[in-house]
Amino acid sequence: MSAAVEAPAGRTVEPTERRPARLAELFLLILALAAGITAFAMVGRSVTGELPSDFWPVSLLLTGIGVAAHVVLRLRAPWADQVILPAVVLLNGLGLAMILRLQLADTKGADAWSQMMYTALGAGIAILIIWFLRDHRWIRRLTYTAMLVGLGLVVLPLLPVIGREINGARIWVNIAGFSLQPAEFAKIAFAIFFAGYLVTNRDTLALAGKKVLGLQLPRIRDLGPIIIVWAASLAVLVFERDLGTSLLFFGLFVAMLYLATERFSWVLIGLVLFAAGALVAASVFPHVGARMDVWLHPFDNELYNAVGGSYQIVQGTFALAAGGLFGTGWGEGYPYLVPYAFSDFIYSSLGEELGLTGLLAILLTYLLIVQRGLRTAIAVRDGFGKLLAGGLAFVMALQLFVVVGGITRIIPLTGLTLPFMAQGGSSLLANWIVIALLLRVSDNARRPSALPMRGTVAQGGGAMHDPIVVGAHDGTTPGGGVPVRRSAADAPSRGSTPSHPTEAISGPLDPRRDDPRGTTGGEHL
């Protein structure tokens, strides 16, 4: 879709390429806003028989957010992906509608107005990031800062006084009356840290050790980092009692390690380590084991009636079942019978009123965001950008898997929440930041580049040119360097063929295409 809009620009032979008008985004944005605002009206009509009292302010604010983000993207990131923003606005709007619906039904804790404020704040921060961060490579200098911030955030809930345990999981902090789920922000910090760390050390980590059963194992001495992250994840599992957070960080690391090193053995080692650790934790620590029981036998009457037992998950399952294929319709169901229907279990609430059809549409919308993020990673030229976009997109997919998988019992239930939909400030802010970063990387990825085109480089032939070309490129473009027109032949191919111009010539040297020499150039700015 976006390619189609760009196509006319690509076909011109003018020396300056026209910026995309982002009409596709505008059109999709109108659809997304219409869906959200219609939902606001319908929940009001259905629950109280009239428009909700906050209908106009909430509708206008959501529209304002969408339009403001769209305008800022036009001005500051005109090449960014055009589907991501409307998809996010759609999810955010539907989430708001459900929270509003629960609030109208006097559900304790549901607060649509506060969610609206956090949406505005999150979108505002995202807009600021897009406005002021002109090149994502700038973030790379924060690699080790991000590590410290990430670790600090993870440890935060364990601290006395501010740490809070909710639903058995200690993943909350309470500062001056504001509740915060630090893991949401930590995932961004870790994505930045892993991207920066791995882009520097990927060569070492990719060096092969022994070959066992056809699998190239890494060298023992390179196992250090994965062991550290593994231990940290298990510590989160045991001390914060949340499998989801633990799985999120560890999965992110393993995925990014795999992206960077292209060695499947890392994934295998990671999975085996984590599974073994989780099993040992489940047998050694009773509270972890209890969660496993609830997962495996939720309908057992004893567990159902136990304090901290399976009541919530069973009620959530009932809500989903009540929705059936088409749902009860907005405001017609009983989602509030499930504890935390507006946050942890908003998925089951949506399932009850929108049905399987609605949930599949929502899942597909998330899938769209994630796949657009991964495509951004494929299209972007620098290794750090690839890892960052790939990691952020994957962590969103993983979070969705952990949340929805927990509610539908693929994995044990965790304390994470559905991005953009569940009520919660931390989640909203963090995920809007993720989207801002993805859009920023996407703009850089799709911006016409100074790189020689496929044809010309192929003529040059020698692989020797490659690092030099990349280095030169990195030396000139950071900080939002002058976009240079791409050839007519390449522009349309960006949408349909994810392959990168340089990839065509890199051949056997592909792993080193994002040579550290090339990318470190960015850091010298």
Partner 1 sequence: MNTTLRRLASVVMVMFLALMVSTTWIQFFHADELNSDTRNIRSIYAEYGRARGPIVVGGEAVALSKPVDDEFGYQREYTNGKLYSPLTGFFSLANGTTRIENTENDFLNGQADALWVDRLQNLLTGRDPEGSSVELTIDPKAQQAAWDALGDQRGAAVALDPKTGAILALVSKPSFDPNDLASHSTKEAGEAYTNLLNDDSKPLNSRATNWTYPPGSTFKLVTAAAALESGDYDADTSIDAPDTYQPPGTDRSIGNYGGTSCSSSGQMSLADALRISCNTAFAELGVDLGSDALYEQANAFGWNEPFQVPFNTDASIFPEPSDAFAPAFVAQAAIGQWDVRETPLQVAVTTAAIANGGEVMQPYSVDTVRDPQLEVVRETSPTSVRRAISQETANQLTDMMIGVVEDGSGRSAQISGVTVAGKTGTAQHGEGAPPHVWFTGFAPAEDPQVAVAVVVENGGTVGTSEATGGAVAAPIAKAVMEAVLNG
Q: Which residues bind partner 1 (CB under 8 A)?
A: 42, 45-46, 255, 258-260, 262, 299, 304, 314, 317-326, 329, 333-334, 337, 351, 355-356, 359-360, 363, 366-367, 370-371, 374-375, 377-378, 383, 386-387, 390, 393-394, 397-398, 400-401, 404-405, 408-410, 498-500, 503, 510-511, 513-514
Which letter does DSSP use for residue 172 in this model? E
Q: Which is nearer to partner 1, 345 or 394 (CB)?
A: 394
Q: Is the distance from CB of 396 to CB of 373 less than 8 angstroms?
A: yes
**CA–CA gap between residue 450 and residue 478 (Å, rounded):** 12
Q: Which is nearer to partner 1, 131 or 318 (CB)?
A: 318
CB of 436 to partner 1, least distance (A): 21
Q: Which is nearer to partner 1, 448 or 501 (CB)?
A: 501
What residues have CB less than 8 Å from 480, skipping those under 6 apart? 134, 135
Q: Which is nearer to partner 1, 99 or 402 (CB)?
A: 402
**CA–CA gap between residue 71 and residue 34 (Å, rounded):** 18
CB of 256 to partner 1, least distance (A): 9
Q: Which is nearer to partner 1, 22 or 386 (CB)?
A: 386
β partners of residue 208: 218
CB of 257 to partner 1, least distance (A): 10
**CA–CA gap between residue 413 and residue 291 (Å, rounded):** 8
CB of 283 to partner 1, least distance (A): 26
- Read off the tokens for 125: 């921060």
CB of 215 to partner 1, least distance (A): 16
CB of 82 to partner 1, least distance (A): 19
Cα distances from 100 to residues 38, 52, 96, 115, 354, in angstroms, run: 13, 8, 6, 9, 15
- SS3 call for 524: coil
CB of 79 to partner 1, least distance (A): 19
Of 52, 75, 55, nearest to 63 (Cα)?
55
Q: Which is nearer to partner 1, 69 or 505 (CB)?
A: 505
Q: Is the distance from CB of 98 to CB of 421 less than 8 angstroms?
A: yes
Q: Which is nearer to partner 1, 179 or 371 (CB)?
A: 371
Q: Which is nearer to partner 1, 145 or 201 (CB)?
A: 201
> What type of residue is 276?
A
Angle of helix 425-446 relative to helix 84-104, nearest 10 degrees, comes to 170
Scanning 12-157, the segments in alpha helix (DSSP H) are: 23-47, 55-76, 84-104, 112-132, 143-155
**CA–CA gap between residue 301 and residue 309 (Å, rounded):** 10
Q: Which is nearer to partner 1, 331 or 478 (CB)?
A: 331
Residue 442 phi/psi, 5-degree rounding, is: -60, -40
- Read off the tokens for 87: 């998809």
CB of 209 to partner 1, least distance (A): 19
What residues have CB less than 8 Å from 8, skipping those under 6 apart? 18
CB of 268 to partner 1, least distance (A): 13
The secondary structure element, H or E, covering residue 343 is none
Which letter does DSSP use for residue 81 in this model? -
CB of 176 to partner 1, least distance (A): 36
Q: Which is nearer to partner 1, 100 or 238 (CB)?
A: 100
**CA–CA gap between residue 244 and residue 169 (Å, rounded):** 10
CB of 485 to partner 1, least distance (A): 24
Q: Which is nearer to partner 1, 174 or 216 (CB)?
A: 216
CB of 314 to partner 1, least distance (A): 7
**CA–CA gap between residue 189 and residue 145 (Å, rounded):** 9
Q: Which is nearer to partner 1, 269 or 359 (CB)?
A: 359
Is the CA virtual torsion 326, 90, 177, 165 positive or negative? positive
Per DSSP bridges, beta strands 169-175 and 215-218 are unpaired
Cα distances from 436 to residues 10, 52, 128, 136, 139, in angstroms, run: 25, 31, 9, 10, 13
**CA–CA gap between residue 525 and residue 517 (Å, rounded):** 14
